Amino acid sequence: MENSIESKESGSIDYAGLVRQAFAAREGAYAPYSNFLVGAALLTAAGPVYSGCNIENAAFTPTNCAERTAFFKGISEGHRRFRAMAVVGGHREKGPADFDYVFPCGVCRQIMAEFCGGDFEIIVAKSPQDYKIFLFSEIFPQAFGPGDLKGDPA
Ligand SMILES: [Zn+2]
């Protein structure tokens, strides 16, 4: 689902709003095996936000993370430049008061490396009021990326 946060490339980012969209996306999580529900909200450079949830599978390896779900939705709609992503997660039985900060897995970080620069922001949140912001360069330094193949991600 595409939402429109009024946050163009040069504008400020509504971090709390992005976190709220990640929580809303978490409601759609399909996680009958881990019971660990994750939601993500991805702000594109153009303004639209794409949300995603984790989608598990009985065969396990086809499982897709919330972050990649959001990225693939945005990429499939033509977006190639992104500004920030909020990620929230926690066990099904836990309420938001018990949430901890959840970071993207290595596979999702590699997807980010394909499309995002070091200034891409990752917001990990326990609530819309309690979040931390990291630069992508902080959480995935020395990444292998398109530049290593002299490719053009666009
Ligand atoms: Zn992941």
Q: Is 54 in contact with 64 (CB distance < 8 Å)? A: yes
Domain ranges of the chain: 2-149
Measure 65 CA to ligand 1 centroid, in angstroms: 4
Measure 148 CA to ligand 1 centroid, in angstroms: 22
Query: pTM here?
Result: 0.90
pLDDT per residue over 119-148, tens digit each? 999 999 999 999 999 999 999 999 999 999
pLDDT per residue over 58-116, tens digit each? 999 999 999 999 999 999 999 999 999 999 999 999 877 788 999 999 999 999 999 99
Q: Distance from CA of residue 110 to its chain's centroid?
A: 12
Residue 5, pLDDT score: 44
- Scan for tokens 């959001």, then name that residue: 70
pLDDT per residue over 52-71, tens digit each? 999 999 999 999 999 999 99
Measure 69 CA to ligand 1 centroid, in angstroms: 9
Domain 2-149 classified CATH 3.40.50.920? Answer: no
Q: Which of 2-6, 38-42, 50-54 has the lowest mean pLDDT?
A: 2-6
Nearest residue to 87 via CA among 61, 53, 135, 62: 53
Strand, helix or coil for residue 39? strand
* Catalytic pick among 2, 67, 93, 138: 67
Tell me if residue 67 is catalytic. yes
Nearest residue to 37 via CA among 123, 107, 108, 95: 95
